[in-house]
Structure 1
Amino acid sequence: MDKFSIEGSKTLHGSVDISGSKNAALPIIAATILCNKPCTINNVPDLADIVTMLKLLENMGCQYSFSNNSLKIDCSKLQSTKAEYDLVRKMRASILVLGPLVTKYSQAIVSLPGGCAIGVRPVNLHIDALKAMGAKINIEQGYVHANAKKLKGAEIYFDTPTVTGTENIIMAATLADGKTTIYNAAKEPEVVDLANFLNKCGAKISGAGSSTIEIIGVDTLKGSEYEVMPDRIEAGTFMCIAHATRSSITINNAPLYCMHSIIDKIQEAGADIHIKNDNTVVVSHSKFLPVDIKTFVYPGFPTDMQAQFTAMLTLAQGTSIIEETIFENRFQHVAELNRMGANITISGNKAIVNGVKVLYGAPVMATDLRASASLVIAALAAENTTEVLRIYHLDRGYEFLDKKLQKLGAKIKRLPQ
């Protein structure tokens, strides 16, 4: 287990390349189960969660090679349709194999998932939708047992938009009989990326990115080559780093088309953003203003950026109100930020962030993926040295973050804990 030692209060400069999106790559990798031929997926980030997903598929009989962010994978000859607990418990996204397995192989045994401790994230919406498509499902000893001779197209109504639920049902519907329509579907760009990949493989999906998605089932899917979209959350994290440290950073490959809510709030906080050549963003400090934020489903402000903004706004000149509407347990980073001199109080699902003039280095412990990023942001802006413990959470979602920060001039070291 490693930790970061970060010497803060350094001005950063230079450019950073944004990696492929973890939240887009994971469902696309799961979707290769549906393909009868090998696939090549490019711009796949080298992350712990990606490795976990690949091990999960390998355990079921998939063959792959992964190097230089290019994944060659062949899932055409699966030997098992069981996703074991030992791997699934590490990552909630493992539930994404449920839909592909049951629609292609008529059966699946998938452990109930684990992942970050940021609140309850039930899979009942996935299960109810598959039942509506004709699957027989039982939960026994922590495993979802699903069987269906052939899934049937259906009208699926989600009570609340669910990203993984939408993705699971899109994949299940690609090989189902007839038409499936998903109402109140998640609109996230990662859902669109999955649909684009599947369509390239021969699926018939329309409406991705809207609240209504239509899938016409086909008999088979071929293999294809596809490039994963850049990670909007990593890009937003580097914007927060730039503003918190009063720096100017050029951010390459940011998917600006799906980052409007993030960019709007960064600018509202006083940062200057200049777009060059449609794919480069320069963020530089001017003044530091408080901002009120309410997380919401896309295209609203993403919950995955809440912790990073909380850390950044600890240094704003005034009071910010941050309301978390997606997960009920996503302020675990607040206590650690307060250890560094922040002035944050929690009231229900709101964090009241009273800006302070300076943060101070301290030993802090990460509790989940985005909380880890928030502590790194605070450490980079703080005086003296901060130790961030349990950074294995960070390695789940940020590719070589320490190396990217070192390139920008940060004094950050990865050390054994």
Structure 2
Amino acid sequence: MEKLVIEGGRPLSGTIRIHGAKNAALPILAASMMAEGTHRIENVPDLLDIHVMLDILRSLGCKAELRDETVVLDTLPAHSSHIPEELMKQMRSSIFLMGPLLTRFGEVQVYQPGGCAIGERKIDLHLKGLQALGAEIEEAGNTIICRATLLRGTDIVLDFPSVGATENIMMAAAMARGTTTIFNAAREPEIQDLQHFLNAMGARIIGAGTDTITIEGVDRLVPCTYSIIPDRIVAGTMMVAAAITKGNITLENVCPAHLTSVTHVLRRAGVQVHIDGDIMNVSCPGRPRAVERIVTSPYPSFPTDLQSQVMVLLSLADGLSVIKETIFEGRFKHVDELTRMGADIWVDMNSAFVRGVPRLYGATVEATDLRAGAALVIAGLAAAGTTIVEQIHHIDRGYDRIERMFSRLGARIERFTPAPVPNNN
């Protein structure tokens, strides 16, 4: 397996452009199935998850190509609504295709999706939403079959503001007969981006970004050209990296409004953040301060996807910080890896207590999931000595060659690929 080798202790400096948002691109690529013809999706990041989604679309009969951050996707030849199990196991976001395929073919067969093992992430809210629109659900073991001859708009109240369920219902309702209203909807910027894309294809949706979304069903959608929003989690990761290395970096192609909660926490920690339009400058000349309490919650509160990165920063802060994780119960797996590097962290139930230490030290650590992997890379950038991060395929799911991003800013980081084992047969 590939690994990253990091020589820490160098302040990051320079300018970097933030690539498009994975969590916006994946549902938008899925939604393209609802309009037959050729779509052009721009600012698409070159990530492992994106390639898995494109492989799924090709398996359904589509023609898809990613080149220079642009996907050209022809959905006209699509002929199947059966997503291969081996591809679904690779990525949880494959579940986004349920609504679009049900709309287009009247039937979809999927399997329990895979992805990062960060805790229980049931898809029951997706299925309940589709059932409310008129779909019949058949479950047999790991297989899920959804059928509907006609979807009808209705009122749907989500038990929890699930991003994926909100998006799946939005897509299925876009061509349902009548009006659908989603109450307690998730409010993430990626949902707003999906609304803008669907409306660009001819849908009639309002309310994304609030807790109530209204979808008036239309008879037909048409292909379009669309550009994906910047990735707020990648931007937040780079902000933390600048702070922890006592660096000074400028981020281009960001949406500061999507990072308000993150900026607030970093400023409480003593990080300097200056904003000018879609450009952010981040620096931290001294030791960060402890932050008394951080609680992860659905947007617009502090995102769970940046919890592990900020924990690394606070592991070097002056004082005791407390982080409460309310979204995923398995989101503290990076703690054991950080303690190998000298961090002083202990966990009680869903809270982590982080007592800052003067220095972290290089060690061999393992990325257990996407965001934990990014956090360990950041720790390695700040640590004294050499850090080796293994199982980096997790990181490749959400960061476009993270070693190149940091190398451009002066980091000493390299990717090593082991030589293939010779076959003596």
TM-score band, normalised by shorter chain: over 0.9
Determine the structure 2 residue equivalent to 1:394: 395
Is 1:141 equivalent to 2:141 in the alignment?
yes
The code of the aligned residue for 2:345 comes to: I
Give a deviation string over 1:189-233, Cα, whole Å, max 9, x none.
000000000000000001111100000111110000000000000
1:274 to partner: Cα distance: 1.3
1:286 to partner: Cα distance: 3.6
* Aligned equivalents of 2:262, 2:275: Cα separation in 1: 14
Determine the structure 2 residue equivalent to 1:280: 279
The code of the aligned residue for 1:387 comes to: I
Does the 8 A contact of 1:36 with 1:220 survive in 2? no
* Aligned equivalents of 2:281, 2:106: Cα separation in 1: 50
Does the 8 A contact of 1:270 with 1:286 survive in 2? no
Does the 8 A contact of 1:340 with 1:360 survive in 2? yes
1:84 to partner: Cα distance: 1.2
Determine the structure 2 residue equivalent to 1:368: 369
Determine the structure 1 residue equivalent to 2:205: 205
1:11 to partner: Cα distance: 1.3
Secondary structure of 1:58's aligned partner: helix
Determine the structure 1 residue equivalent to 2:264: 264
When structure 1 is superposed on structure 2, of 184-193 and 266-275 the one drifting more is 266-275
When structure 1 is superposed on structure 2, of 400-409 and 199-208 the one drifting more is 400-409
Query: What are the residue-to-residue correspondences of 1:315-330 with 2, within 5 Å?
Result: 315-330=316-331
1:36 to partner: Cα distance: 2.0
1:188 to partner: Cα distance: 0.2
* Aligned equivalents of 2:142, 2:163: Cα separation in 1: 22
Determine the structure 1 residue equivalent to 2:61: 61
The code of the aligned residue for 1:258 comes to: H
Query: What are the residue-to-residue correspondences of 1:213-224 with 2, within 5 Å?
Result: 213-224=213-224
Is 1:352 equivalent to 2:353 in the alignment?
yes
* Aligned equivalents of 2:124, 2:11: Cα separation in 1: 47
Determine the structure 2 residue equivalent to 1:5: 5
Determine the structure 1 residue equivalent to 2:39: 39
Give a deviation string over 1:256-284, Cα, whole Å, max 9, x none.
111100000111110111123x1111111
* Aligned equivalents of 2:348, 2:141: Cα separation in 1: 37
1:76 to partner: Cα distance: 2.3
Moved over 6 A (4+): none
Does the 8 A contact of 2:57 with 2:64 survive in 1? no
Determine the structure 2 residue equivalent to 1:196: 196
Determine the structure 1 residue equivalent to 2:255: 255
Determine the structure 1 residue equivalent to 2:112: 112
Does the 8 A contact of 1:31 with 1:171 survive in 2? yes
1:129 to partner: Cα distance: 1.0
Is 1:302 equivalent to 2:306 in the alignment?
no
Query: What are the residue-to-residue correspondences of 1:223-262 with 2, within 5 Å?
Result: 223-262=223-262
Does the 8 A contact of 2:256 with 2:275 survive in 1? no
Does the 8 A contact of 1:177 with 1:218 survive in 2? yes
What CA RMSD, in Å, does the superposition of the two structures yield over aligned residues?
0.8
1:416 to partner: Cα distance: 2.0
Is 1:412 equivalent to 2:419 in the alignment?
no
The code of the aligned residue for 1:388 comes to: V
Query: What is the aligned-residue identity percentage?
Result: 46
Does the 8 A contact of 2:242 with 2:248 survive in 1? yes
Does the 8 A contact of 1:104 with 1:175 survive in 2? no
* Aligned equivalents of 2:127, 2:58: Cα separation in 1: 24
1:103 to partner: Cα distance: 1.5
The code of the aligned residue for 1:360 comes to: Y
The code of the aligned residue for 1:136 comes to: E
* Aligned equivalents of 1:97, 1:196: Cα separation in 2: 18
Does the 8 A contact of 1:42 with 1:227 survive in 2? yes
Is 1:169 equivalent to 2:169 in the alignment?
yes
Give a deviation string over 1:121-178, Cα, whole Å, max 9, x none.
0000010111111111011131110000011111111001000000000000011111
Secondary structure of 1:82's aligned partner: coil
Secondary structure of 1:177's aligned partner: coil
1:37 to partner: Cα distance: 2.1
The code of the aligned residue for 1:389 comes to: E
Is 1:339 equivalent to 2:340 in the alignment?
yes
1:64 to partner: Cα distance: 1.4
The count of aligned residue pairs is 416
Secondary structure of 1:357's aligned partner: coil
Point out where structure 2 has 5 or more consecutive residues left out of the alignment: 419-425
The code of the aligned residue for 1:316 comes to: A
* Aligned equivalents of 2:192, 2:76: Cα separation in 1: 24
Determine the structure 2 residue equivalent to 1:121: 121
TM-score (norm 2): 0.97
Give a deviation string over 1:361-388, Cα, whole Å, max 9, x none.
0000000000001100100000000000
